[in-house]
Amino acid sequence: MKPTDFAQALSAYLGSYLPGQKNVSAHTLHSYRDTFKLLLEFCQGTRGLAIERLTLRDIDDGLIVAFLDWLETVRHNSVATRNQRLACLHGFYRYLQGQDPAGLWPYQRILAIPTKRTAQPAIPYLTPDALQAILAQPNRATRQGRRDATLLSVLYDTGARVQEIVDLRVRDVRLEAPATCTLTGKGRKTRHVPLMGGTVALLHRYWAEWRLGDNGRQDDPVFANRQRQPLTRRGVAFILDRYVAKARESVPGLPDRVSPHVLRHTKAMHLLQAGVNLIYIRDLLGHVDLATTEIYARADTELKRRALEHAYPTLVSDDFPDWSEDDALLTWLTRL
């Protein structure tokens, strides 16, 4: 059977354009792949369209809207997930505009499908005491405990995404002054993050114990399991969950769920509360747009309170007389 125009376009997009021209990461490519797997499942299972006969003309804006509704109502995806799937489809149809000008109008109708507005969730982060309680949990008398203590310290100190820690290699870490860590983030963009003294001390001991300074180890993962395989995202989350559960015994006010990304939020909030400029926080976190970093400023209620107190220091005073000694007020209340 002759391949359809949809099959040819999708193969070229996923197999050549995204990895070859856009140079997207494997994680991003998997997200696009999963979106189209779901779309094909919807077309075949719900619309009765044979996948091998599916053409570009079969997929219009009405089908895409129905697919997005199916994600929410049948698969019970969140609005954020629905919007992310739509963003992947928009990327594909922006690509098609240049490849198939004859279909410009139906493609633009799909591109006009808006994302759904969703409530901005509160940013979860830890207080310094809560963070210290978690970092103190690994048993540093054991080899695994020392690895975990170093892992959690680097995860917080760098403000890294969990995938960036998983991908970290020995050659990416510089322990000589000035100590830095080179992280590769979204879009394969790299950034150099300074390491603080306590983390550097942990890494020095960790380097010696795991012999990471030996010649030929430059491409080894910094954090590995007992089989010397890189830790996975799920593995890092599992390690953190274990120590959070232990810390909750002494700090009952910990959030219900503390993911590795919460440590990233925590680092950003602590820097903001320490007076670090948002520009530097943006660069440390690897944000492309400063507007992304500004969510921390909007979320920090303590910072807002201090700013209000500084701006209006004399408007509200705590020097009030005892109302029970105000005879005029008591008389008025009695008559009321």
Catalytic residue among 95, 107, 156, 296: 296
Catalytic residue among 82, 146, 265, 287: 287
The 10s digit of each residue's pLDDT in 15-57 is 999 998 888 888 889 999 999 999 999 999 999 999 999 999 9
How many C-beta atoms lie closer than 10 Å to residue 96's C-beta? 22
H or E element, residue 33: helix 26-45
Across the strands, what pairs with 286? none
The 10s digit of each residue's pLDDT in 248-289 is 988 877 887 899 999 999 999 998 888 888 888 888 888 877
188: left (phi over 0), alpha (psi -120 to 50) or beta: left
Catalytic residue among 264, 265, 267, 282: 264
Would you give the distance in Å from CA 114 to the centre of its chain?
23
The contacts of residue 257 (CB under 8 Å, 6+ apart) are: 124
pTM of the model: 0.70
Mean residue pLDDT of the chain comes to: 87
DSSP tally for the chain: helices H, then strands E = 15, 3
Backbone angles phi, psi at 68, to 5 degrees: -65, -40
Is residue 324 scored above 70 in pLDDT?
A: no
CA gyration radius, the chain: 27
Q: What mean pLDDT comes out for the span 93-118?
A: 92
Active site residue 264: yes
Q: For position 28, what pLDDT does the model report?
A: 86
Active site residue 296: yes
Q: How confident is the model at residue 228 (pLDDT cuts 50, 70, 90)?
A: confident
Report the alpha-carbon distance of residue 81 to residue 91 in Å, rounded: 16
Report the alpha-carbon distance of residue 236 to residue 54 in Å, rounded: 41
Active site residue 2: no
Is residue 301 scored above 80 in pLDDT?
A: no
Sheet holding 173-174, edge to edge: 173-174, 180-184, 190-194
What the block records as the tokens of 114 is 């808006």
**Higher model confidence: residue 41 or residue 327?**
41
The 10s digit of each residue's pLDDT in 161-181 is 999 999 999 999 999 999 999
Report the alpha-carbon distance of residue 116 to residue 114 in Å, rounded: 6
Q: What mean pLDDT comes out for the span 116-122?
A: 77
Structural domains of the chain, with CATH = 5-111 (1.10.150), 128-309 (1.10.443.10)
Catalytic residue among 90, 186, 246, 248: 186
Active site residue 267: no
Which of 127, 117, 118 lies closest to 300, judged by CA?
A: 127
Catalytic residue among 82, 85, 147, 161: 161
Q: How confident is the model at residue 318 (pLDDT cuts 50, 70, 90)?
A: very low
Q: Helix, strand or coil for residue 300?
A: coil
Q: How confident is the model at residue 320 (pLDDT cuts 50, 70, 90)?
A: very low
Contact indicator for 194, 267 with CB cutoff of 8 Å: no
Is residue 238 scored above 90 in pLDDT?
A: yes
Q: For position 69, what pLDDT does the model report?
A: 97
What the block records as the tokens of 218 is 């430059």
Active site residue 140: no
**Higher model confidence: residue 188 or residue 302?**
188
Report the alpha-carbon distance of residue 285 to residue 280 in Å, rounded: 9
Report the alpha-carbon distance of residue 189 to residue 84 in Å, rounded: 21
Is residue 336 scored above 60 in pLDDT?
A: no
